[in-house]
């Protein structure tokens, strides 16, 4: 069955330095990637208690961190990684990711040259913002290879790209396949909206003006008509999901900025899950619970999927179940659900 490729596909020799034996990186669930500001001591103090409650903790160095705090954020992340039990590395309960500054910023080189020697053994994934094309991934790939070799690391650090420029969207297929380090891609709706000159002023989610209205009643032109808000992000998410599936890496929603609107947040996350995304970002602890719920298949869906798998026997032909036709193709969908449930339970 196709799907996210197995961890051993991430294995490859480092490009620079003496050959280093790399260990396999297990594909681990990452339903919620929870962002924190490592330069904020209050947030940093909460991190140890969050280990084990969320799949990924991400120390953010890019947007939302003031220019004056970039150094403090880097140093804070190093401290947190060193002091927090169970965070990052092969045996971690919660993965440790970072979002570095963009490749056209004055900070990114210092981000990587500080973090990899200091905590490269704990960092699971480096999230790269504003990726425009394969060349950006190649650049980070080479830098990581050099820094890993210099630090004697035995496990490659994976790369995650944020899709947040029109050019990045146009190049999403080549970005996904640019390196065996590619772990996944997230939608970056805020920067993408600006880059595309969309007329929104929010971080992710829908817009009340983006709607389709029901037909007018010719006999009663003044009667109220239903209207349905549409999903601003459907095209980009669908395109990202296809590109990720094509290259066997993981697609993610991204930020949902209206923290108070848990209903719309859940709807947006669920749309992304149904379209094929495996997770999303969390900007507030209450979004972790939403993401964990939404990006885990429901007990009912998994039970149904198992019934189809059992009914399909050797996996060929067609059977009727509850009045519905099931065949090889519906079996494959059910296997996706069962595999995800097993991966989450492991």
Interface with ligand GLV includes 288 (CB under 6 A)?
no
Taking the least distance from each CB to ligand GLV, the nearer of 241 and 334 is 241
37 near Mg ion (CB under 5 A): no
Q: How far is the CB of 254 from ligand GLV (least distance, A)?
A: 5
Cβ-based neighbours of 45, under 8 Å, separated by 6 or more? none
CA separation for the pair 147, 102 (Å, rounded)? 18
191 binds ligand GLV (CB under 6 A): yes
Q: Which is nearer to ligand GLV, 15 or 64 (CB)?
A: 64
Listed residue (118, 128, 56) closest to 83, CA to CA:
118
- Distance between CA atoms of residues 164 and 307, nearest Å: 40
For the chain, what is the total number of helices (H) and then of strands (E)?
A: 12, 12
Q: Which helix (H) or strand (E) holds 78?
A: helix 70-83
Choose from Mg ion, ligand GLV, none: what does 4 bind? Cβ within 5-8 Å by kind: none
Q: Are 180 and 9 in contact (CB under 8 A)?
A: yes
191 is annotated as contributing to ligand binding: yes
Residue 337 contacts which entry, Mg ion, ligand GLV, none (Cβ below 5-8 A, type-dependent): none
Residues 194-233 that bind ligand GLV (CB under 6 A): 203
Q: Which CB, 29 or 189, lies closer to ligand GLV?
A: 189
Residues 253, 237 contacting (CB under 8 angstroms) = yes
Told to check if 59 binds ligand GLV by CB under 6 A, we report: no
Residue 272 φ/ψ, nearest 5 degrees:
-65, -40
255 in contact with ligand GLV (CB under 6 A): yes
* The length of the chain, given as a count of residues: 346
Tell me if 184 contacts ligand GLV by CB under 6 A: no
Q: How many CB atoms lie within 10 A of CB 252?
A: 30
User: For residue 47, how many other CB atoms are within 10 A of its CB?
Assistant: 22
Q: Is 85 annotated for ligand binding? A: no
The span of 115-123, 184-192, 243-251, 301-309 binding ligand GLV (CB under 6 A) equals 184-192
Tell me 191's DSSP state: H
Residue 18: which residues within 8 A CB-CB, separation 6 or more? 149
- Residue 188 in contact with Mg ion, rule: CB under 5 A: yes
Query: Is residue 162 at the binding interface for ligand GLV, with CB under 6 A as the rule?
Result: yes
Q: List the single partner that 189 binds among ligand GLV, Mg ion, none, CB under 5 to 8 Å by kind.
A: ligand GLV
For Mg ion, the binding residues in 141-180 under the rule CB under 5 A are: 164
To the question of whether residue 37 is assigned a binding role by annotation, the answer is: no
Give the annotated binding-site residues for Mg(2+).
164, 191
Query: Which residues contact ligand GLV by CB under 6 A?
Result: 63, 129, 162, 164, 188-191, 203, 254-255
């Amino acid at each position: 069955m196709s799907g996210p490729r197995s961890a051993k596909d991430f294995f490859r020799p480092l490009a620079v330095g003496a050959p280093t034996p790399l260990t396999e990186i297990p594909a681990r669930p990452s339903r919620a990637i929870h962002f924190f500001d490592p330069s904020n001591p209050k947030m940093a103090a909460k991190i140890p208690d969050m280990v084990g409650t969320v799949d990924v903790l991400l120390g953010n160095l890019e947007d939302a961190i003031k220019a004056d705090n970039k150094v403090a954020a880097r140093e804070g992340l190093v401290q947190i990684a060193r002091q927090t039990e169970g965070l990052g590395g092969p045996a971690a309960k919660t993965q440790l990711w970072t979002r570095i500054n963009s490749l056209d910023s004055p900070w990114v080189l210092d981000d990587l040259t500080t973090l990899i020697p200091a905590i490269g053994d704990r960092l699971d994934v480096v999230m790269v913002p504003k990726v425009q094309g394969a060349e950006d991934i190649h650049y980070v790939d080479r830098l990581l290879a050099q820094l890993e070799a210099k630090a004697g690391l035995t496990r490659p650090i994976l790369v995650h790209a944020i899709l947040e420029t029109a050019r990045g969207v146009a190049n999403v297929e080549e970005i996904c396949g640019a390196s065996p380090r590619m772990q996944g891609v997230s939608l970056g709706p805020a920067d993408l909206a600006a880059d595309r000159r969309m007329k929104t002023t929010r971080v992710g989610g829908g817009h009340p003006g983006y709607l389709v209205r029901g037909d007018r009643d010719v006999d009663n032109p003044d009667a109220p008509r239903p209207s349905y808000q549409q999903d601003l992000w459907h095209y980009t998410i669908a395109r990202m999901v296809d590109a990720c599936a094509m290259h066997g890496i993981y697609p993610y929603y991204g930020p949902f900025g209206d923290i108070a609107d848990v209903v719309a947040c859940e709807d947006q996350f669920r749309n992304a899950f149904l379209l094929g995304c495996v997770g999303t970002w969390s900007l507030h602890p209450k979004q972790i619970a939403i993401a964990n719920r939404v990006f885990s298949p429901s007990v009912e869906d998994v039970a149904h999927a198992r019934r189809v798998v059992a009914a399909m026997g050797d996996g060929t032909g067609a059977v009727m179940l509850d009045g519905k036709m099931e065949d090889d193709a519906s079996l494959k969908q059910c296997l996706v659900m069962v595999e995800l449930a097993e991966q989450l339970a492991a």
